Amino acid sequence: MTGGFAITIYHNPDCGTSRNALAMIESAGYAPTVVEYRTVGWTRPLLTGLLAAMGAKPRDVLRDKGTPAAALGLLDPGVSDDAIIEAMLAHPILVNRPIVVSPRGTRLCRPSEAVLDLLDRVPDDFVKGDGALVHKVR
């Protein structure tokens, strides 16, 4: 937390988008709380609270690439929200990343530049891991 502006990032260190979002937060001078959700897992209250804060449904944050989503039958449009949440609790990797929480809101930060809307100050021009330049927008 820097200057009373608490930021939490639900992070996957193996994900380039998540690493870029974290680096942007840190470049802006913040020391966020980093939750490696694949290791610690999710609780139902935390996951449903994040979804409510984002105004999202479980399907909105369901990751299919590199996960067991298809094998579990979760990509079928008839699968209930509760079934998706239960699967996310059992398989944390099913939740897309990174999800960032700040006093300015909660959102799935894909692309990583979406995190800038959640900060009260932003870094100067930032070079992402793939070499792409993100220009200061404020």
Q: Is residue 3 within 8 Å of residue 63, measured between CB atoms?
A: no
Residue 43, exposed/middle/buried by CB under 10 A (0-12, 13-18, 19+)?
Answer: exposed
- Considering 7, 9, 15, 74, which one is annotated as catalytic? 15
15 included as an active-site residue: yes
Q: Which helix (H) or strand (E) holds 102?
A: strand 99-102
Structure tokens at 37: 């959700």
Please give the positions annotated as active site: 15
